Structure 1
Amino acid sequence: MGKWVLVVLALMVASMSCLAPCSASSFFKDKPWERKRPILSVPTASSSFASSSIVLPLQGNVYPNGFYNVTLYVGQPPKPYFLDPDTGSDLTWLQCDAPCQQCTETLHPLYQPSNDLVPCKDPLCMSLHSSMDHRCENPDQCDYEVEYADGGSSLGVLVRDVFPLNLTNGDPIRPRLALGCGYDQDPGSSSYHPMDGILGLGRGAVSIVSQLHNQGIVRNVVGHCFNSKGGGYLFFGDGIYDPYRLVWTPMSRDYPKHYSPGFGELMFNGRSTGLRNLFVVFDSGSSYTYFNAQAYQVLTSLLNRELAGKPLREAMDDDTLPLCWRGRKPIKSLRDVRKYFKPLALSFSNGGRSKAVFEIPIEGYMIISSMGNVCLGILNGTDVGLENSNIIGDISMQDKMVVYNNEKQAIGWATANCDRVPKSQVSSW
């Protein structure tokens, strides 16, 4: 289906995602771990929830695939589906044979919906709609429509079905969760990849992590670890990480629908660029990172200044990404050009003198194209309709564990080996 971009409509999930070439599904896809006390003063979560988590392996990469995906089993009997894990949207949906009026080609047969319809007045249904525009034309079912900024869309009804999962303590579970039966899809302009649907990981009530939490299965925490070499893992709950090893920053209270730390300052090679009011959103549905027009212009100017006199020239014939450079011979690895580029960072205030710094090394904003050029994986978001928003996409979250703790309203991160799933551990934070 492709990683799309959500826009806010009357009858849809409010979300943030990006546009092609990253093909994202949401609106708007280092240092070693350092032990430290948490920088946030927040109440302890309830101990009534299991300390165990759910861990799911990821497949894919930023380039050349352009997406990460997770395999989930749904239904009775359970069948596998490829889903795009998207922290920028709430609703999980599958292309569905209801029958399907319009569906895109995937590697799996269309989902056969259960007969367990979510009624129109159900709180989960109501959470998908704005209260002023929520009309129950058919009280027995919940209709939904999501539209994407690239012209893509999904239309369907909300159902409940079984999601067989395994906890990290070894216990199998079979929760019934609400998902969208999407019977009319338009892929829009996003590039094709074999997705059966979207895995909504946002902050809303209908998101998978919220539903698992409300059933007392895990705490309301979701996180991911994207491997720059491909793959990684996704997790629900707080049983696999030590919170004292992560850098934390509060989620913005002004933007409750998104995983946003609010406004940050852009750093280049450890120094401020002078840009201090950048509204930032973490979005796993975006393959690449997006800066607004001002930040993008500042960044590209700094890069071009650094490259002056260096053996790299702009590669006008490489359309992999908007801005690429070629060397005297084909570039095989980022190691070959590391000395020509400087690290980036975004610095966030924590309400006092301390700062939470999200570091972006060269691997977090550059790729090597199939033509042997080095390309900038940060795009101009203003050009694709994101206005002044700045999106941290998959490329900049590679080789980091990123945690969205909805109970403590905080986002945390730390450099990590995403090849290795951490052992389950009880969190005392």
Structure 2
Amino acid sequence: MQDIDLNEYNPSDSSTSKHLSCSHQLCESGPNCKSPKQQCPYNINYYMESTSSSGLLVEDMLNLASGSDNTSNTSVQAPVIIGCGMKQSGGYLDGVAPDGLLGLGPGEISVPSFLAKAGLVQNSFSMCFNEDDSGRIFFGDLGLATQQSTPFLPLDGTYKTYIVGVEACCIGNSCLKLTSFRALIDSGTSFTFLPDEVYEKIVKEFDRHVNATRSSFEGSPWKYCYKSSSQELPKVPSLTLKFPLNNSFVVHNPVFIINGNQGVDGFCLAIQPTGEDIGTIGQNYMTGYRMVFDRENLKLAWSRSDCQDLGDSKTMSLTSPPAGTPSNPLPTNEQQSTPGGRAVSPAVAGRAPAKPSAASTQLISSRFCLLRLLPELLLLLNIISAFKANTGVL
């Protein structure tokens, strides 16, 4: 990470930045401030043990350009609120989210909510992770007419995060009984976690289909690993998630390859048990797909993609704010109400699973992977002109 130019965001270097005062409607720490004119502080504690971020809230402008060819000259400025971290602990000190976190959750304080409320885009966005570790995010994208989809499910009666219901899991052509579960769709988690009972059924069926010898690799977090007898990866069975109305999601690459000096040393089935009743579909199982978070219609949609040509979506254009919209259309206090009163990323809101939270992405040995965290992959509407906060929280 020392070789990465993070281009850290500094409010004093931005002509459009504004510090939020304690009297601001979004300053939840306001009642504890000594003066209403004092800069608004924030403090977020994440599920990962001893991981926290604290600092000051800042408002600035996000510069967006259209990803559609026929509106290539369209650009707008969208106001967002970020947290500029001044003191970090836990995972942050170990390299998690080196250039910050981007809030993409359903709550009104997230970036997609700001953009949709301003009338700039439709209330939806898509993400695409490619095999070469690159990625795309498009705000306002509703995806393709041919895509598959499944509805989001409420958690404790509200849509506070992106949860879907998996009806069954299949290994190859064998669909397993009693493998239904709820899953959090979390781009901020590098790998995938399943409830214990579902995990045990899947790994045992996978092991039964694999024509390779069980092995172990130092530093690997996965239990079901296999030795490769050649320099190439042997054929592995497919893993498919079944959803209502005959929709299915075939995981593009269910294994993590272990490379050695002479080529492929082996591979591991890249899932872990979570110990919770809600699983987490992480970035590794989203790879090769265009994942559409359609907040307007409360559904998740997907279609295969190489993440390069995403200009064929239903809606990709930016629009100017409608007449009568305030120049700074930030949500009101009422719209900002969230459980616990904390503006956090979707995976750590409410009762999301503790182990694989977005803010506390699992730290895997660097021998096996480079955590491909969301902020390092962002190309906002394919052309990014935005700030990168070294330790900020959006």
Mark yes or no: TM-score above 0.5.
yes
| Alignment-mate amino acid for residue 311 of structure 2 | P
Alpha-carbon separation, structure 1, partners of 2:94 and 2:132: 21
Distance 1:262 1:117, change over 3 A: farther
The answer to whether residue 255 in structure 2 is matched with residue 348 in structure 1 is no
| Residues 270 and 344 in structure 1, CA contact (< 8 A), matched pair in contact too | no
Alpha-carbon separation, structure 2, partners of 1:190 and 1:263: 35
| Residues 367 and 374 in structure 1, CA contact (< 8 A), matched pair in contact too | yes
Measured against aligned partners, the alpha-carbon deviations of 1:307-352 in whole angstroms (never above 9, x if no partner) come to 3xx3x222224433423211223x43xxx312xx322222223xxx
Distance 1:426 1:209, change over 3 A: closer
| Residues 289 and 392 in structure 1, CA contact (< 8 A), matched pair in contact too | yes
1:166 aligned partner: 65
The answer to whether residue 137 in structure 2 is matched with residue 234 in structure 1 is yes
Alpha-carbon separation, structure 2, partners of 1:405 and 1:370: 37
Q: How many residues align?
A: 297
| Residues 169 and 176 in structure 2, CA contact (< 8 A), matched pair in contact too | yes
| Alignment-mate amino acid for residue 296 of structure 1 | Y
Distance 1:360 1:106, change over 3 A: closer
User: Can you give the 5+ residue segments of structure 1 that lack an aligned partner in the other structure?
Assistant: 1-64, 66-103, 127-133
**Deviation of the 1:229 alpha carbon:** 2.7
Look up the SS of the partner of 2:101 in the other structure.
strand
Alignment of 1:288-367 (within 5 A): 288-307=191-210, 310=211, 312-323=212-223, 324-329=225-230, 331-332=231-232, 336-338=233-235, 341-349=236-244, 354-361=245-252, 363=253, 365-367=254-256
| Residues 264 and 280 in structure 1, CA contact (< 8 A), matched pair in contact too | no
**Deviation of the 1:191 alpha carbon:** 5.3
**Deviation of the 1:164 alpha carbon:** 1.8
Alignment of 1:214-233 (within 5 A): 214-233=117-136
1:180 aligned partner: 83
**Deviation of the 1:121 alpha carbon:** 6.0
**Deviation of the 1:304 alpha carbon:** 2.1
Distance 1:276 1:299, change over 3 A: closer
1:40 aligned partner: none
| Residues 321 and 375 in structure 1, CA contact (< 8 A), matched pair in contact too | no
Query: Could you tell me which of 265, 271, 274 is aligned with 1:378?
Result: 271
**Deviation of the 1:105 alpha carbon:** 11
1:118 aligned partner: 20
Distance 1:181 1:216, change over 3 A: same
2:154 aligned partner: 253
**Deviation of the 1:409 alpha carbon:** 0.9
Query: Could you tell me which of 31, 35, 40 is aligned with 1:136?
Result: 31
**Deviation of the 1:203 alpha carbon:** 0.8
**Deviation of the 1:420 alpha carbon:** 2.5
Alpha-carbon separation, structure 2, partners of 1:154 and 1:393: 23
Q: Which moved more, 1:314-323 or 1:115-124?
A: 115-124
The answer to whether residue 106 in structure 2 is matched with residue 206 in structure 1 is no
1:50 aligned partner: none
The answer to whether residue 175 in structure 2 is matched with residue 272 in structure 1 is yes
| Residues 154 and 160 in structure 2, CA contact (< 8 A), matched pair in contact too | no
Look up the SS of the partner of 2:31 in the other structure.
coil
* Percentage of matched positions with identical amino acids: 25
Look up the SS of the partner of 2:58 in the other structure.
strand
Measured against aligned partners, the alpha-carbon deviations of 1:254-281 in whole angstroms (never above 9, x if no partner) come to 3511111235322222433112441111
| Residues 179 and 201 in structure 2, CA contact (< 8 A), matched pair in contact too | no
* Greater RCO structure (CA 8 Å; 6+ sep): 2
